[in-house]
Amino acid sequence: MNILIFIGILSFFYFKNAEAISEDVVKDQYWKWKTKYRDSDQESEVPYVIFRQTLMKVAQHELQYFTKRSSYTYKLNGRSADTFSEMALWNGLLVDNSINEAAVIRNKRSINMTGVYNFPPAPPSWDWSEQGYVTDVDDQGYYCGSCYSFATACAMEGQYMKVHKNLRKFSKQQTVDCSRSFGNFGCEGGYLNATFKYIIQNNGITNETFYPYVGVDENCYYNSSMYAGSVSGYDFVYGDEENLKRALYAIGPLAIGMKGDIESFYYYGGGIFDDANCFGAINHAVCLVGYGTDNTTNPPTDYWIAKNSWSTDWGEGGYFKLLRGSNLCNVSKYVVYPTVI
């Protein structure tokens, strides 16, 4: 933790007052933050007042964490001077047609909502990122709601590794630019299933090198000479979190939807995220890669491990742990994975 923020936390502890953080401390943090994240920003001056409010929230929450009143930390990131509505631009997952399609498939198969595929029992903990099935964390950018593209790429990369024993980093920009005719909206958002449909009917996707991510809508320029991999189909995972755990272990990294427009999640810095307010509409896509249990707590705390697309400066190097067992953030409701060829 930065020493100046820690000084602010100590001032909270002794003075119980947000105003105890001196303006000099705030200004010093502001200019360091702006130099790191926004010096190249040609837009209007980054709002100092919003940054100051964020810094206060971070300090207040860190005091809760250090006094054992929270299981996760806050920290500054590239969105720390943005309003809530600006931060919400990170959340670009659309769900309606996907949820409807999943329900139709489930009904056709006469699948109930528990014990779906009889996946074999899974070990107590597992992490696909430690097995070499997950590529580096990416940054979708401040104002592009392309999370759906990153989550589907992650799931496809894991399946490609299982089939071909070769970890490839597939293009996210291609699906942002080229999948509009399948119901996606570029940086304005998209569906997990529509993205896989595009890859299937387009006969493939290229890798990150040939079609790099830029974080804005561009004209599609993919052609078959850029082919790096494809999928023949996709499916949904149904059921409760126990079934999701088994599916994750049996299948590999999974593209999932969750509620992401919650302030505590935007500021998340590490630990097990367990904000009880994280229920409601699904609007953010991430890649589920593992699960485990923190045995240092009483009782032990089960958690998920997921890869986000908000850069390595967010969370635990771009990853986060989410409380497992209460379907927090609707983590088990919208889960999709591809069949790689």
Token pair, residue 214, equals 């830029």
Q: Which of 77, 91, 144, 147 is catalytic?
A: 147
The H or E element that residue 250 is part of is helix 241-251
Q: Which residue has the tokens 């971070």?
A: 58
**CA distances (Å), 78 to each of 163, 283, 317, in order?**
36, 20, 13
Q: Is 61 a catalytic residue?
A: no
Token pair, residue 1, equals 């933790």
The number of helix segments (H) and strand segments (E) in the chain equals 10, 9
**CA distances (Å), 213 to each of 82, 96, 261, in order?**
23, 26, 23
Q: Which of 284, 287, 329, 330 is catalytic?
A: 284
Q: Which of 77, 91, 207, 308 is catalytic?
A: 308
Q: Is 220 a catalytic residue?
A: no
**CA distances (Å), 107 to each of 4, 101, 104, 113, 238, in order?**
57, 10, 5, 10, 11
Q: Is 298 a catalytic residue?
A: no
**CA distances (Å), 104 to each of 131, 180, 233, in order?**
34, 23, 16
Cβ 233 vs Cβ 336: under 8 Å: no
Residues tagged active-site:
147, 284, 308
